[in-house]
Structure 1
Amino acid sequence: MAKQILLGIREQNLNEVAHYLMVYFPYDEEMSSYTDAWMGELYENKYPLVSKGMWSGIINLKTHKLLNWKSEYGDLYLQAKVCDSGTYFLLDKDKKVICKIADYVPNGLIPETTDCGDYIRLRINNDGTIENWPEEPSFSDFLEDADTVEKIDTSIEEEPILDAKMEFTYSQLMAKLLRLPKFLQMEIGKTLIANVLEGFEEEEEE
């Protein structure tokens, strides 16, 4: 089911009842990025809140803070094209799941409001505060066409895109390599040269 709402919640004001938002989506390097003012784009081993190809965050809806954000991550801007691959849970003050969306991004609640359900864009301070959280968030995406249930299905269909097999043309591969930091480019270059030389040595021995 794409949308579920707990029995008895629909009649209440979600703005008052919902205290936390849990967000899960596949972090695809081609469509997601973390950037900051100093380093530009960050890379795979530096993606905060990403584990096994999945991004997961818990947001306090009253303080607009990511509870699992660490200060050492610094101030970062997260942009991800998620479309319908994300899963979103609303929790009450006791952390009981009251709503679920396994569909397009609820941009009435998650920035930016003009992204039509395709993107998540978060300006995150080092204390976890999301600067661009909407002043008047809308929970309508959680209500419209939602199935009323006695218990929310809390399962998440994980599709870690980073583990997917991908094929690139030479030009595409070079473009990706040139986006890496210089020291990584040099290390990869050394490895490639070493592999080529090893191949020549094997041919000479034959």
Structure 2
Amino acid sequence: MAKQILVGIEEQNLNEVAHYLVIYFPYNEEMCSYTDDWLGELYENKYPLVSKGMWSGIIDLKVHKLLDWKPEYGTLYLQAKVCDSGTYFLLDKDKKVICKITDYVPNGLIPEADDCGDYIRLRIKHDGMIENWMEKPDFSDFVKDADAVKKIDTSIEEEPILDTKVEFTYSHLMAKLLRLPKYLQLEIGKALIANASEGFEEEDDEDSL
């Protein structure tokens, strides 16, 4: 687990300063699932916000809304057991990164499972609103024992279920993603992640020849 916080931010109220939460974690079908909020049926055919084995999403903390969500995804319940993995960023109102946590789920902010840590459980409505988001979130996970730095390391390095290491530049993603209309945000995000993994696919093709 590693934590970073911008110098000076630890002295402020993150509940006021933090406006967005960006989440990345490996989506393992044995540990993660989407279910229909009404029928409880496993959502198997495709997994919203998952690309190359990685789940990624941007949450507006002020209105409790998942900005990447499309109405056609419907109302779904996401449950994920995230063991010693994942990358979590806090952004201010200007989309500047102010905090980072890796390999640890900040369950003081992200809804968990009956006081069991390392879980992410989101009840997502068709419009992206998260029904079970906490009204009084606790940001202490981002502050306690964090290294105060002048600039947050915005690189992301995760091990998805495809057994290939994915590395891409977070700042590039955010610069493009959050300036576009919401209905385009998901498609752009998927394209950037796919480009980051392109080299691995080429290597696999060469090995198969």
TM-score w.r.t. the length of structure 1 is 0.76
Q: 1:152 to 1:116 in 2, by over 3 A?
A: farther
Contact 1:83 1:117 in 2 (8 A): no
Q: Name the SS for the 1:157 alignment partner.
A: strand
The alpha-carbon distance between structure 1 residues 14 and 158, as it changes in their structure 2 partners (threshold 3 A), is same
| C-alpha distance in 2 between matches for 1:39 and 1:137 | 27
Quote the residue 1:107 is aligned against.
Answer: 107
Residue of structure 1 equivalent to 2:43:
42
1:26 counterpart residue number: 26
Q: Is the 8 A contact 1:107 1:114 kept in 2?
A: no
Relative to 1, partners in 2 of residues 1:82 and 1:17: Cα closer, same or farther, differing over 3 Å? same
Residue matched to 1:181: none
Q: Distance in 2 between matches of 1:28 and 1:106?
A: 19
List aligned pairs for 1:71-90, cutoff 5 A: 71-90=71-90
- 2:152 aligned residue: 152
Structure 2 counterpart of 1:98, one-letter code: I
> Structure 1 residue 67 and structure 2 residue 67: aligned?
yes
Mapped partners of 1:84, 1:21: distance in 2: 19
Structure 1 residue aligned with 2:54: 54
2:156 aligned counterpart, secondary structure: coil
User: Alpha carbon RMSD of aligned pairs, Å?
Assistant: 1.6
The change in CA–CA distance for 1:64 and 1:81 in structure 2 (over 3 A counts) is same
1:42 to 1:113, Cα distance in 2 relative to 1, 3 A: closer
Distance in 2 (alpha carbons) for counterparts of 1:116 and 1:156:
25
Task: Tell me, yes or no, if structure 1 residue 123 matches structure 2 residue 123.
Answer: yes
- Residues 25-75 of structure 1: CA distance to partner in whole angstroms, max 9, x if unpaired? 0000000000003471122x4100000000000000000000000000000
Aligned partner of 2:190 in structure 1 is none
Structure 2 segments unaligned to the other structure (5+ residues): 165-209
In the alignment, residue 40 of structure 1 is paired with which amino acid? E
- 2:93 aligns with 93
1:145 match: secondary structure: coil
Distance apart, 1:116 and its partner CA: 4.1
Q: Aligned AA for 1:78?
A: L
Q: Which letter maps to 1:27?
A: Y
TM superposition score normalised by structure 2 = 0.75
- Residue 40 of structure 1 aligns to a residue whose secondary structure is coil
Count of aligned positions: 163
Deviation, structure 1 residue 8: 1.0
Q: Secondary structure at the match of 2:9?
A: coil
Q: Following the alignment from structure 2 to structure 1, what is the Cα–Cα distance between the partners of residues 115 and 33?
A: 16
What's the % identity of the aligned pairs? 79
The alpha carbon displacement at 1:114 in A equals: 4.2
